[in-house]
Structure 1
């Protein structure tokens, strides 16, 4: 298996020395840490005692399949070993090297209950910084078979994160080994691809996901936003009207952004915020009901001009709504609005997606979307939360920014095939 892969010296060392109770690979995206950890995990499965369960943990079953099982089943990576990894999509178990492996999603604190009562000999944790602290503690407690081991990978996070403070920084006091990887530690990457990745990430994301540093979030979130570059007065032909994305507000502003897929002046696919509907009840001194907002939305979409023509009116494929706005979602259903979907509200993933698009000049905003344009420069990290090890935006003047990340994140499956160079952190 090792002979078929171009491994770096750091990868080989980490595999050979992954014999501690806790073994952790952390650092830049696409840096080779996942492949090294998976090889070590396969070796551990082959040598695991017959007593005790083997577990793979991830943020969700889908991320386990994408980040762990799909690579293990890739013939190009693991050759004949890949055929010894069997899994049916959606199933909560897999068979790896003849051993049953249990797959556990750990999106929130409720996942801790899935570990109650079990005894484990081996565990693999994908995206460890996203696992709840209580779940991690419970998992360590369940690794009670003599010689039990935990293997984990993660991208860097805030330096105050519990994983760094309580485990990595205390490695000398614990039975723990860790290896930090940079993008240049992966010998299998094409140099042009590495250069493209380095160009696409900026600011916080560059420091974490390219350099592999645990750095604190501070300052402007979209520091790469430049009105001269990203604000346009003319729109290209829109090939797909992906969605209108809504951040709902009654006392706070209501913001609705229309997002389309078109091509820039270089012929590259890009996302366009083509129009914005916004109602600020404080400024107008008038609150609207759910029914009034729904009607206003329909009037607005009916008045949006099709770029390059005299035709008015667009029909987005999806209407994406702040998931907390249950009453408004119900109103849209009553008004027979098609394809209404609660937004994916994973904040950091949404912010990172918007930041990558802006940094690579794949997201443009029509000059009429003044609410969004006004908010973007001031959208900032919360310093108090950062001191506690959390990455959170300041919840002030963020309504159109929230709508933007809702739209970008939730429609990613629709636009990513057309904008393939942008990577998801892994």
Structure 2
């Protein structure tokens, strides 16, 4: 099949497309490196000539990721040219059409997705973000690829080196009917060099190795290894343009911690920043008394009301736009509603939240007032759990993390609000 594309694949993409003739074909590596587009182009070529007598499947973690990562590019004329019209899909639908062939859509957010494959005979499959798929689902999918000439295509970002995909498949590719291609960010020559430089500056440590270099590496050492107290901790605050959020990590026996976050007015270079301006903590062990939900609510209001009017006119008695609460604190959320607040449960996607905070630090878009001592101390000591990393799981050590969790809730949950505010203001 000849592809009349709107883009020109890179030499590495072209080579991988031409070489993808194995039963299992996997593109792995850095973000924005061109691996997904190459894998999708090869999938379309396969669909055009796929064996009859079996189902075609597109699988991914969720319906949203399948739509965004697979079908948005396939239906984008800027990528696929005239072929974009030959793909039809409605977000959330159980099937799609590619080049006139019916394609089954399976999201595998939990183990029950495996049951959708049982009894199915597959002629071909495309899997988005393979490392996020449960191993039982993957094994079942491979077992259903029984039609002669059936093939699987897929892409993924790297994970821990002990991940089952690397250990049992990529590292054994010479023993299996499997081909794979490793992509780094620099392999995508179509990206704006300024964008590439920005990405390289924003990611550090584990994220740089995985998302820029495309390496399968362990999470080890300090999580916020880009933290520089001389740069990130301030003793004076600029005026706040927007009181963004108060993030709350709820605790009874453990500390209760709240951090107040604002977005500053543009500086002399037109740059706004996010500032953690104030912190309030109640440690029941130190205080030798646990507070009820009602008492926490009253003290939280008193703390916000008592913040001095030093950040601009009318800011005494702060009420931020968002009150983001630990999602496990359902009873406290109800109490806050009863007391006139408008709380929202925080997004507790731990790794995504850590990455959000890390990127802000690396880009020098986040600063913390020196009075927030508990937060500063926790940031310095926040580390990856070595035992879990060795077992293939990226997770922080769960101790001395209450302020960090509050900050993560506040920033990750509200990122749709603040990311545009951080774009530099043009200077006249």
* Structure 1 partner of 2:289: 286
106 and 416 in structure 1: CA distance in 2 versus 1, 3 angstrom threshold = farther
Indicate the SS of the match to 2:217. coil
Q: CA deviation at 1:335?
A: 2.7
Q: CA deviation at 1:183?
A: 1.1
Whether 2:394 is the aligned partner of 1:417: answer no
* Structure 2 partner of 1:277: 280
Is contact 1:7-1:187 (8 Å) kept? no
104 and 343 in structure 1: CA distance in 2 versus 1, 3 angstrom threshold = farther
Q: Out of 353, 356, 360, which is 2:356 matched to?
A: 353
Indicate the SS of the match to 1:269. coil
Is contact 2:272-2:423 (8 Å) kept? no
* C-alpha distance in structure 2 between counterparts of 1:329 and 1:292, whole Å: 13
Alignment of 1:337-376 (within 5 A): 337-338=341-342, 340-376=343-379
Indicate the SS of the match to 1:123. strand
Structure 1 window deviating more from structure 2 (370-379 vs 60-69): it is 60-69
* C-alpha distance in structure 2 between counterparts of 1:68 and 1:123, whole Å: 12
* C-alpha distance in structure 1 between counterparts of 2:239 and 2:150, whole Å: 58
* Structure 2 partner of 1:326: 330
* C-alpha distance in structure 1 between counterparts of 2:76 and 2:422, whole Å: 24
* C-alpha distance in structure 2 between counterparts of 1:300 and 1:41, whole Å: 57
* Structure 1 partner of 2:38: 36
Q: CA deviation at 1:397?
A: 0.3
Is contact 2:5-2:82 (8 Å) kept? no
43 and 372 in structure 1: CA distance in 2 versus 1, 3 angstrom threshold = same
368 and 90 in structure 1: CA distance in 2 versus 1, 3 angstrom threshold = farther
Is contact 2:227-2:380 (8 Å) kept? yes
Indicate the SS of the match to 2:59. strand
Alignment of 1:9-408 (within 5 A): 9-263=11-265, 265=267, 266-305=269-308, 307-309=311-313, 311-338=315-342, 340-408=343-411
Structure 1 residues 324-347: Cα deviation after superposition (integer angstroms, max 9, x where no partner): 222222322333422x32222111
Structure 1 window deviating more from structure 2 (318-327 vs 354-363): it is 318-327
Indicate the RMSD between aligned Cα atoms, in angstroms: 2.0
Gaps of 5+ in 2: none
* Structure 2 partner of 1:424: none
Indicate the SS of the match to 1:391. coil
Indicate the SS of the match to 1:172. coil
Gaps of 5+ in 1: 422-426
182 and 305 in structure 1: CA distance in 2 versus 1, 3 angstrom threshold = same
Is contact 1:7-1:186 (8 Å) kept? no
43 and 126 in structure 1: CA distance in 2 versus 1, 3 angstrom threshold = same
Query: Which consecutive aligned stretches of 4+ in structure 1 deviate over 4 angstroms post-superposition?
Result: none
The TM-score, its normalising length taken from structure 1, stands at 0.93
Is contact 1:27-1:211 (8 Å) kept? yes
* C-alpha distance in structure 1 between counterparts of 2:193 and 2:79, whole Å: 19
* C-alpha distance in structure 1 between counterparts of 2:35 and 2:423, whole Å: 22
Larger Rg: 2
Indicate the SS of the match to 1:192. helix
* C-alpha distance in structure 2 between counterparts of 1:222 and 1:11, whole Å: 34
* C-alpha distance in structure 2 between counterparts of 1:131 and 1:201, whole Å: 25
Is contact 2:63-2:91 (8 Å) kept? no
Indicate the SS of the match to 1:354. helix
Is contact 1:180-1:212 (8 Å) kept? yes
Indicate the SS of the match to 2:244. strand
Structure 1 residues 141-163: Cα deviation after superposition (integer angstroms, max 9, x where no partner): 23233222221111111111111
